[in-house]
Structure 1
Amino acid sequence: MGLQYYHTTALEDWVTKFYSRLKIFRPEDINPVVISQKLSIFLREKPFSSTHQVVGRFRCIVVDSRLSKEEKREAFFHELCHILRHVGVQSMMPEAFRELQERDAKLFTKYAAIPYHMLELIDWNERYIIEQMAHMFKVTPKLCEERLTQIQNRILVNHSCFSNHFMCFA
């Protein structure tokens, strides 16, 4: 795969800098418990929908204990994004603003689960690449498939722009 044609987004760059500050450089370094501890965020599991809470300096993520290990990990990233990047109570904000925060959290989840600076560790010639990624990053195959499609699409757009000498903004 032509990763040289892949261009990161501002959010991907933000995640890479965030992980660098936390000394997260390999897939095995991505540990929700350790990340929570480093950020002084209480992490709990309870049998209800995943959520987060910020009250003054108190920050907490509650992950739905009924989910699979991989789904719990993805729920953690989603809620972590809300704590790190968003403000306000979603139930009291305009629908469009809430949707924008949710879209940001979904993208953040992909980038935090399978970060740009670790893409070079993936065997792009692996026949079962989705399974390889799911095992390596400990997330669902669905998330891996979405991230892989996103990577391939961005490379395709940027490569065709480069090849055709068009000015593209991908």
Structure 2
Amino acid sequence: MKLSYSSTPLEIWISQFYKQLGIYAPEELDEQRIARSLGIHLFYKEIPSMAYEFGRFKSITIDKRLSSLMQREHFYHELCHILRHSGRQLIMPIAFRELQEWDARNFTRYAALPLHMLTRYDFRQMEIIDVLSEQFKVTPELCQERLERIKGRLILNNLLNIS
């Protein structure tokens, strides 16, 4: 039985987004480069990470007290808020804020480990989590989550194809 994987619309969008920026390999994923290409001011300060938008001004502030791996994950999370969300979370209903946070976490998985870059890896490799963590510069936990999502979609797609 051949396993089939169907990409989510968000996975496809993120891969197209990176390709438009000329980003095809993990070593090309760079927060400064991405922010600069989108006209986003990027700051590292000793305050909690956040995204801010006012008119045409956009900024992301990353908590520099975090490890470099966590800083990168926070960048993707805050980037999602700028690219996909609107409104001030402090004054929006809790359910809407929770939905935005769920979306930002999901976006982070895909943006940190984009599908078009994962095709070159052998997922049967024993140390694949460590390899991905090192090459994409994100935590092993995020890599594990991403691979579990891929595995889940493979299983679901194959169950749907059987019936």
- Return the TM-score normalized by structure 2: 0.95
Match of 1:108 in 2: 107
Tell me the CA shift for residue 95 of structure 1. 1.1
Tell me the CA shift for residue 11 of structure 1. 1.2
Tell me the CA shift for residue 4 of structure 1. 5.3
* Residue 144 in structure 1 maps to residue 143 in structure 2: yes
Tell me the CA shift for residue 126 of structure 1. 1.3
Give the number of equivalent residue pairs: 163
Tell me the CA shift for residue 118 of structure 1. 1.1
1:64 and 1:3 map into 2 onto residues whose CA distance is 44
Secondary structure of the 2:53 match is: strand
Identity of aligned residues (%): 46
Tell me the CA shift for residue 123 of structure 1. 2.1
- Return the TM-score normalized by structure 1: 0.91
1:125 and 1:97 map into 2 onto residues whose CA distance is 39
Unaligned runs of 5+ in 2: none
Secondary structure of the 2:22 match is: coil
For residues 132-155 of structure 1, the C-alpha deviation after alignment (integer angstroms, 9 at most, x for no partner) is 110111100000010011111111
For residues 6-46 of structure 1, the C-alpha deviation after alignment (integer angstroms, 9 at most, x for no partner) is 11111111111211211111111111010011111111111
Unaligned runs of 5+ in 1: none
2:64 and 2:92 map into 1 onto residues whose CA distance is 28
Q: Which runs of structure 1 show a deviation greater than 6 angstroms over 4 or more consecutive aligned residues?
A: none
What letter corresponds to residue 46 of structure 1 in structure 2?
Answer: K
Match of 2:46 in 1: 47
Match of 2:27 in 1: 28
Secondary structure of the 1:66 match is: coil
